[in-house]
Amino acid sequence: MRPLLSLLAAPVVAVVACFTLAAPPAHAATKPVSTEAATRHPIVLVHGFMGFKDIFGVDYFYQVPDLLRKNGATVYVAAVSEVNSSSLRGEQLLLQMKQWAARDGVKKFNLIGHSQGSPTSRYVAGVAPHLVASVTGIGGPTVITDAQAAESNIEKAVTNYGAMVEFAGSFVAWISGNGKLPQDVSALRIKEELDRFAVLFPAGLPATYCGEGRQVVNGIHYLSATGRGVKTNSWDVSDLFMQETSEPSDGAVYACGAHLGKVIRDDYPWNHIDEMNHVFGLIGKAAPSPAQFYLTHANRLKLLGL
């Protein structure tokens, strides 16, 4: 499979693993043991394409919400369509944020989006900036060149396997308890939408390919990180879907094409699935913990006054 096709296929493996491996017990409330992650504004975790909030107590961001809460963060986890445009997903995310804000008296949120969760978060920052303190993209595409689009052949893949992809998205939505979320494979035009977002929502985008964008635009902080690993653990079944490309990538998204605002690092030894700490935390030998990364990043946001 080409890299962007892997973006569709690999998260499904994490879902399947929920059925084939022993799942941890359901989440229990934990008393904070530190204030390391106690950001001023709550954190919202936004899943990527074919992602989910949680399934049978298994987080898409595996072990991350509990770790952040244990260290003082207020964390919300979004549930948006598995197979749909970033614009529609963004509207779904915005609705949830408005509901949380009204219920809990929240003024702003720190959005952290993995994969398609990144452009989904950028959409909200663009249409409702008063609700957003920061946007962090983790392995999230911001730009795809014509050459990369030709290499990935994503449009052909969606055309050839559209019905299968849409069915998979509907299944994931149903099994995660969000079966009413609309799935529309015809809306998945990644390059077309990213090109449009570059015009509508340019905040944080680099002026040159592989550069850095402005970290603060209209009071919103933009940051990003991604991996440059592909085959990182022979026991991890999702590695089968990660492919080497003509440019460094995490097996699904090109490293330079994931730059947004301040680039924390674009060379973590993780692939696209490692970035969300799946499958069940299987990463490469001596690779840093993805879960710890999210904790460190929450502390980074805290120190920025966010």
**Catalytic residue numbers, as ranges:** 115, 250, 272
Separation of first and last alpha carbons in the chain: 39
Buried-state track 135-158, b at ≥16 Cβ within 10 A, e below 16: bbbbbbbbbbeeebbebbbbeebb
Determine phi and psi for 133, rounding to 5 degrees. Answer: -95, -35
* The Cα angle at residue 169 between residues 248 and 86, in degrees rounded to 5: 60
Helices (H) and strands (E) in the chain, counts: 8, 9
Q: Specify burial of residue 302 (Cβ count, 10 A radius: 0-12, 13-18, 19+).
A: buried
Q: Specify burial of residue 68 (Cβ count, 10 A radius: 0-12, 13-18, 19+).
A: buried
CA distance 214 to 87: 23
3-state helix, strand, coil split of the chain in percent (to 5) is 40, 15, 45
CA distance 127 to 210: 26
Q: Beta strand 220-227 with 216-217: parallel, antiparallel or unpaired? A: antiparallel
Q: How many residues does the chain have?
A: 306
- CB-CB contact of 304 with 122 (8 Å): no
Closest to 233 measured CA to CA, from 282, 278, 273: 282
Q: HSE (CB half, 13 Å, CA atoms) of 66?
A: 14
